[in-house]
Amino acid sequence: MTNTPPLPLVIEPEALNAILNNENLLIVDLSSPKQYQQAHIPEAVFLDYGHIVGMNQPYTGLLPEAKQFEHIINSLGITPNTQIVAYDEEGGGKAARLIWTLHAMNHNNASMLNGGLIAWYREKHPLSNKSVTSQPNPGDKHYKVDFNLQPVVASTEYIIDNLENNAVGLLDARSIDEFTGNAKYAQKTGRIPGAKHFEWTRAMDTEANYRLLSKETLQPMLDELGLTQDKEIIVYCQSHHRSALSYLMLKYLGYEKVRGYPGSWSEWGNRTDTPIEN
């Protein structure tokens, strides 16, 4: 076994296949339990997506409680030196949400498998149906989680304070019906004032097994919306699931200042003190 060198934020299936047995590498599968039981990447541990998000109805998709996430981190044997590669079966939303949450605790050694399980399977890389049991951290190696308002997290108050700030852009990753207010999933419909619509699936290349589109393709699309790299971009959807992929897309493109809004529209659309635009 060899040590894992730093990996890119987005890793290709072929590159991951070459380092499956490396030390300090942990592959995390966020697919459905049924999918994991049927087939997963060899040595991948299963993590239920529901365990990495918090909820305070009607707000969903919140940051998990630090102690809750700390328990998960340590039960998986993750240390500050662990290189995590996350994937799912849906194009990256759940994997990206884990990576964003890791970034929020300042663990940046995390990558998303480009195309996830879809690309891995279609390109005939090895699969297993053997469940993998992780080795929990002993007490002397306990990894403490402190979210402490890392600069990748946007609160409702932060967004309200920056609505008139031309150096801050808002990316709405929901469907066009949600964006225009034709679909209602909260007390209020519409969007955050000034938000630009970029549905999360637009980042995916279905003809390339659901990989992210190339940087050369994505950047002009965002530039046309005014979501340029000189700005800080805040991404949101209904529960910061879909927009987690938007967060990862922007980081992949090289944006230095990106924040995810954990409660997203489930919070903004259910509060009485938030302005909306239709």
Any idea which residue has 């499956």 for tokens?
20
Catalytic annotation present for 237: yes
Q: Which residues contact 207 (CB under 8 A, 6 or more apart)?
A: none
- Rounded Cα gap, residues 234 and 192, in angstroms: 11
Out of 7, 99, 145, 237, the active site residue is 237
CB distance 203 to 246 below 8 Å: yes
Nearest Cα residue to 253 out of 210, 200, 217: 217
Residue 25 belongs to domain with CATH number: 3.40.250.10
Length reported for the chain: 278
pTM above 0.85, yes or no: yes
Predicted confidence (pLDDT) per residue in 80-132, tens digit: 999 999 999 999 999 999 999 999 999 999 999 999 999 999 999 999 999 99
Q: Are 100 and 186 part of one and the same domain?
A: no
Q: Are residues 162 and 222 in the same domain?
A: yes
Q: What range does the domain containing 229 cover? A: 156-268
Domain boundary among 108, 141, 174: 141
CA–CA separation, 170 vs 247, rounded Å?
11
* Residue 186 within a domain: yes
Beta bridge partners of 110: 84
Tens-of-pLDDT digits for all 278 residues of the chain? 566 678 999 999 999 999 998 989 999 999 999 999 999 999 999 999 999 999 999 999 999 999 999 999 999 999 999 999 999 999 999 999 999 999 999 999 999 999 999 999 999 999 999 999 999 999 999 999 999 867 999 999 999 999 999 999 999 999 999 999 999 999 999 999 999 999 999 999 999 999 999 999 999 999 999 999 999 999 999 999 999 999 999 999 999 999 999 999 999 999 999 999 99
